[in-house]
Chain A
Amino acid sequence: MSSEKLAHELQAILVKRIQSDQLVVPTIPAMVAAAQEVLRETDGAAVKRAVEILERDPFLAARALRGGAKGVGGQKKPTIAEAVNRLGPRGVKALLVEATAQKVFVSRDAEIANALRQIWEHSVAVGVLARDVLALSGHADSDAAYLAGLLHDVGKPVVASILLEAERQTTELYNRSWIGAPEWVEVVARTHRAVGSALAEKWQLPESIQKCLQENLDYDNSDRTSLVNAVCFANALAKKTGVYVGKFDPEDVDAIVMIGRSLIGVNDEVLKTLTKGLKDRVSGMFD
Chain B
Amino acid sequence: MPIVLTVDDSRAVRTIVSKAVKDLGFEVAEAEDGVQGLEKLTECQYDLVILDVTMPNLDGPGMLGKMRGAGNMTPVIMLTSESKRSIIAGAMKSGITDYILKPFKPEELRNKILTVLQGGGGNEDVVTSSMPGGAPAAGVPENAPSSREASAKQFVDVMVVDDMENVHKRLRGMLPNHLTMNGFTSAQSALASARERVYRVILVDTDIPDVNSAVLAQQIKVLQPHAAFIALALRTNSADQAKELKDQGFGDIVYKPFTQDHIDDFLVQYFDNQDFLTNEDNILKVSAFVGKPERLDRYFGRLAQLFPSVLNKVASACYEEVVVDLAKAPTQGDRLPKLLVSLVSQSKEMGMAMSVVGTPEIQKLLASFEETRGIKYFGTLQEARAAVA
Contact = CB atoms under 8 A, between A and B. Distances in A.
B275 interface: no
B131 interface: yes
A270 B222 contact: yes
Contacts of B237: 43
Contacts of A257: 126-127
B108 A262 contact: yes
B85 A242 contact: no
Interface stretch (B167-175, B188-196, B349-357): B188-196
Interface in B123-166: 126-136, 140, 142-143, 145
Nearest to B221: A273
A91 interface: no
Contact of B210 (A82, A243, A265): A82
B101 A252 contact: no
Interface string B65-90: 00000000000000001011110110
A275 B84 CA distance: 24
Range for the number of chain B residues in contact with chain A: 35 or more
Given A221-B81, A272-B143, A273-B136, A255 B89 contact: yes
B192 A237 contact: no
A107 B187 CA distance: 41
Interface string A178-190: 0000000000000
Contacts of A249: 89
Contact of A259 (B99, B105, B135): B99
B315 interface: no
B133 A259 contact: no
A218 B98 CA distance: 19
Nearest to A250: B89
B238 interface: yes
Interface string B205-222: 000001010010011001
Sorted nearest first, the 3 A-B pairs with minimum C-beta distance are A279-B130, A255-B89, A277-B133
Interface of B: 81, 83-86, 88-89, 92-93, 98-101, 104-105, 108, 111, 126-136, 140, 142-143, 145, 187-188, 191-192, 195, 210, 212, 215, 218-219, 222-223, 225, 236-238
Interface of A: 43, 45, 79, 81-82, 85, 131-132, 135-136, 138, 140, 143, 218-219, 221, 237, 240-243, 249, 251-252, 254-259, 261-263, 265, 267-281
6 contacts: A138-B195, A251-B89, A255-B88, A255-B92, A259-B101, A280-B130
